[in-house]
Amino acid sequence: MMFTRPANSKQEPSRRGVVQHDEGWFYQGQAAHRLWNKSAIGRLVGSEGLLLSSSEVIFCHEHRHLEWPFDSWLSEQLGDRPRLLEEAAILEALRVPGNRIVVHSNFEAMGLSSAAASWGLRWPSEEHPSTSEATYEVRWYHASEELDIEDLFEWSEQVREGGRMAEVLVVDDEHAVVTYRVGAVEPEGEMGAVPDDDFVTISELGESSGLDNGGSFIHFEGDWPNDRVGIPYPSGRIMDQQASELVEAMANGSAGSLSIGASILGDLLNRGLHPRPGFKYGTRWRCYDRPMGEDHAPWLVVHPAEGPVDWEGACLASRLASGVNKTWLHPLLVESEWRYLSITRPPADSRWNNPHRR
């Protein structure tokens, strides 16, 4: 790959070896090539030196003995870039374990492609940008930032189509970092869709009593048409609001007018799953992929109106699900079909966090 000398570097190298450049900070010290060849830090510019982003300057100062470009450098940078310290914490969490990271400002010059919103590309410690393709695309957020499910889904699909995995890092006010993987998941069970005739039969069974929660109780003795619809109770069946609505709509041929909750419930049933209330897990449904009693429910599905609004809530929901060996899913409607986005903790060997708390 060919590089050109940074003709717009306006200063001679100071005694500290770092000068300002239109694209970042240009380092011409003796360690420039070693920083690139060993750790893939910055962007090597021919034989002249290394172009660093501001967050890379902080990393090199703290971990590679690089002096600040000048004494007031950090305070001046923070005046222009108030998110710089958080970005530096993200970079540190990724780099200290040995990962190679190329930040987005270097993509074009290095001929690297990515999804439009990616902040960086990541290579595992045993690989290098000069010899292999990146395995992961990275975005990062502060814990207080809004959780935009549609944007996250679109980005993760672009990353997947590019043959990579989507990785998100979240940083809080004390610069603690946690890692998640995001992507579309298609939850499926082995029980098949509920036949339309079962909904019709249920709608015609016994006397129905309205319940305070918006659902109903069907008084019925005998064999229930489909065990995945409603909750067993002596002398009948409890139907929550979504199940009652779904049964009525399916029986009357008006499935197109379902509420969001009833529509998702219908989709989960069509996927061969057995949805049950997920209250104790902080979600609307827990979903079994096999008949109840054979195994635990692998999926936790939130109602979109009840989902977390920021990354702090998303981290809490995902961590709770991980703690009970389940996968947390957020439904979203894509081209009139329900899709499901997962936000999951990665394997233990890919959980990047800060080497130390400050």
pLDDT, tens digit, for every residue of 134-166? 999 999 999 999 999 999 999 999 999 999 999
Instruction: Report if residue 205 sits inside a domain.
Output: yes
Instruction: Report if residue 145 sits inside a domain.
Output: no
Instruction: Report if residue 262 sits inside a domain.
Output: no
Q: Which residue has the tokens 């990541």?
A: 122
Q: Which residue has the tokens 């009970």?
A: 324
Domain end marker among 82, 112, 136: 82
Of all helices (H) and strands (E), which one includes residue 262? Answer: helix 260-270
Instruction: Report if residue 316 sits inside a domain.
Output: no
Q: Hey, what amino acid is at 325?
A: N
Residue from 293, 289, 352, 343 nearest 321 by CA: 343
pLDDT, tens digit, for every residue of 27-62? 988 889 999 999 999 999 877 789 999 999 999 999
Domain end marker among 24, 56, 82: 82
* 34 contact partners, CB below 8 Å, separation of at least 6: none
Q: What are phi and psi of 260, to 5 degrees?
A: -60, -45
* 151 contact partners, CB below 8 Å, separation of at least 6: 117
How crowded is residue 149: how many other Cβ atoms within 10 Å of its Cβ?
19
C-alpha distances in Å from residue 239, one per residue of 96, 123, 256: 53, 50, 20
| Domain assignment of residue 29, given as a range | 14-82
Q: pLDDT (tens digit, 0 to 9) for every residue of the chain, 358 residues total?
A: 333 344 444 444 445 688 988 889 999 888 899 999 999 999 998 777 899 999 999 999 999 989 999 999 999 999 999 999 999 999 999 999 999 999 999 999 999 999 999 999 999 999 999 999 999 999 999 999 999 999 999 999 999 999 999 999 999 999 999 999 999 999 999 999 999 999 999 999 878 888 898 889 999 988 899 999 999 999 899 999 999 999 999 988 887 789 999 999 999 999 999 999 999 999 999 999 999 888 899 999 999 999 999 999 999 999 999 999 999 999 999 999 999 999 999 988 888 887 765 5
Instruction: Report if residue 150 sits inside a domain.
Output: no
Domain end marker among 222, 239, 257: 257
**CA–CA dist 262, 148 (Å, integer):** 23
Instruction: Report if residue 18 sits inside a domain.
Output: yes
Count structural domains, the chain.
2
Instruction: Report if residue 202 sits inside a domain.
Output: yes
Instruction: Report if residue 74 sits inside a domain.
Output: yes
SS3 165: strand
